[in-house]
Amino acid sequence: FGSEDEDVEPVDKGKKKSEGATACQSYTPAQLEAETAKEIREVCAILGLQNPIASILLRHFRWNKERLIDAYMESPEQVLTSSGEPSPVASPNSPTPNTPRPSKRARLTPEEVVFMCPICCDDIKEETGLFKERCGHTFCTSCWKDYVIGKVKEEGQCDFTCMQDGCKTVVEERTVKELVDEPVLKRYQFLILESLIKSRSSLRFCPFPGCEQVVCCHNATPSSILVQVPTVACSDAHTFCFGCGLDADHRPVICALAKLWLKDAKDDSGSSSWIKANTKICPNCQNATEKNGGCNRIHCRSCDFQWCWMCEKNWNVHGYNGTCNAYNEKSASETKDAQAMAAEKLEKWLFYYDRYNNHDLSAKLDKELYERTEQKIKEVQEASGLSWIQARFMQDAVDELTRCRITLKWSYAMG
């Protein structure tokens, strides 16, 4: 996925991919994690670093291994300080040092049997009640635990610094492992994976709810998605668009238009066009006032103010016989044109949106049809003695219908 050595086998359960799909590979989170671990090991070997540091540095360099290695070769100190490391751990080109790291627990000398946690001010009498990050900053274990859980679970961060004010040391994976329980650790590891996926434009999570697959696709560049829709499928056969992440095959509409269409459908911009064509702001109270019928005399329902639709003057001064300041042939026809155009646009929008919705509904009904078909296949098989494979044609027919309907549905957005 982006690097030159792609030796992870894509998952292929032999599921049929939808026709015309863009070339892609599907990975499970475990496969990606294995790939990530391999990259970290490589960085460790080349730069003579220890694992948690290498992982932090890779994340700091947005998983760009080559850039990290180049920068580290040039100036290890600069790379380490910019990533918040307390001091250079090793020099480049030296083998991984085997020097034991200082114990993670702060050692208490006999004179210091009592340690006061600077955060909660509790007196800690036992060594096990303390925890020290590799920068040396020590706090009580329960404060550390609350802090790490808060960062991972509530804030969704995998890169956060030590609790000490001003300390830039990034808390390492070993600390997280030691302090939190399994679900929080899982979340932490997921966040690391997510940081990798966000940093690579060739990786994307399958958008289907509950699906954990990650799809790798190299054929969806910002310029290519302006002319084609990179429709891909994960190994569980969930078809989606790699360009915009929409959980549907939105061909023939390109991503930018599909987004617009959905946005239009969402904030109902059609009705806002209607409002533009038929309402004006009351000059007295600034509330939207609707024009009712053809008369220019507008009665504001909010403030009772009466005014002229055309020139927005007080109707008491204006009157039916008074000359309307705004009124002349040209401006009247211009206003009328603008309003007519907005109304026309709305009508067109509603026309297509109705049809789009209708197909959306039909597609939902197709799902039921699909399930009913499975039942029907069994019945036909029993009655006719056809094999399951032979009776499959019915399922294929429903598949085809669903695909056609999705394409037809999206073609309305082109209208």
Residues with catalytic annotation?
295
The DSSP line for 213-272 is -EEE-SS--TTGGGT---EEE-TT--EEETTT--SS--TTS-HHHHHHHHHHHHTTHHHH
Return d(Cα 409, Cα 356) in angstroms, integer.
5
Minimum CB distance to Zn ion smaller for 87 or for 387: 87
Query: Residue 129 gets which letter from DSSP?
Result: G
Bridge partners (DSSP) listed for residue 297: 308
Q: Is residue 344 within a helix (H) or strand (E), and if so which, with residue range?
A: helix 329-384
Distance CA 392, CA 240 (A): 25
Element (H, E) at 27: strand 25-27
Q: Is 363 in the site for Zn ion (CB under 5 A)?
A: no
List Cα–Cα distances, 309 to 30, 203, 290, 302, in angstroms.
66, 55, 10, 16
Q: Check binding of 44 to Zn ion (CB under 5 A).
A: no
Residue 302 as a binder of Zn ion (CB under 5 A): the answer is yes
Query: How many residues belong to the site for Zn ion (CB under 5 A)?
Result: 33
Helix (H, G, I), strand (E, B) or coil at 275: helix
148 is a contact residue toward Zn ion (CB under 5 A): no
Cβ atoms < 10 Å from Cβ of 61 = 21
Q: Which of 318, 359 has the CB closer to Zn ion?
A: 318
| Least distance (Å) between residue 401 CB and Zn ion | 22
Q: Which of 132, 151, 238, 359 binds Zn ion (CB under 5 A)?
A: 238
Q: Which stretch binds Zn ion (CB under 5 A): 72-80, 99-107, 226-234, 402-410?
A: 226-234
Q: Map residues 154-193 to x or -, x wherever contact with Zn ion holds by CB under 5 A.
A: --------x-x--x-x------------------------
CA dihedral 197, 201, 203, 204 (to 10 degrees): 80
Q: What is the smallest separation between the CB atom of 231 and Zn ion, expressed in angstroms?
A: 8
Contact set for Zn ion, span 86-145 (CB under 5 A)? 117, 119-120, 135, 137, 140, 143
**Shortest CA distance to 310 belongs to which of 326, 294, 291?**
326
With respect to Zn ion, which residue has the nearer C-beta, 143 or 401?
143
In the window 316-355, what residues touch Zn ion (CB under 5 A)? 324
Interface of this chain with Zn ion, residues 248 to 287, rule: CB under 5 A: 255, 282, 284-285
Residue 234 engages Zn ion in binding (rule: CB under 5 A):
yes
Closest distance between Zn ion and the C-beta of residue 34, in Å? 19
Which one of 158, 244, 253, 346 is in contact with Zn ion (CB under 5 A)? 244
Nearer Cβ to Zn ion (89/310): 310
Show contacts with Zn ion in window 193-222 (CB under 5 A). Answer: 206, 208, 211, 213
Type and span of the H or E element at 26: strand 25-27
**Single-letter amino acid, residue 245:** G
Residue 223 CB, nearest distance to Zn ion (Å)? 14
Q: Does residue 79 bind Zn ion (CB under 5 A)?
A: no
| Member of 217, 300, 346, 377 binding Zn ion (CB under 5 A) | 300
List, in order, residues 6 or more apart from 403 with CB less than 8 Å away.
18, 19, 249
Interface with Zn ion (CB under 5 A): 117, 119-120, 135, 137, 140, 143, 162, 164, 167, 169, 206, 208, 211, 213, 234, 236, 238, 241, 243-244, 255, 282, 284-285, 300, 302-303, 305, 308, 310-311, 324
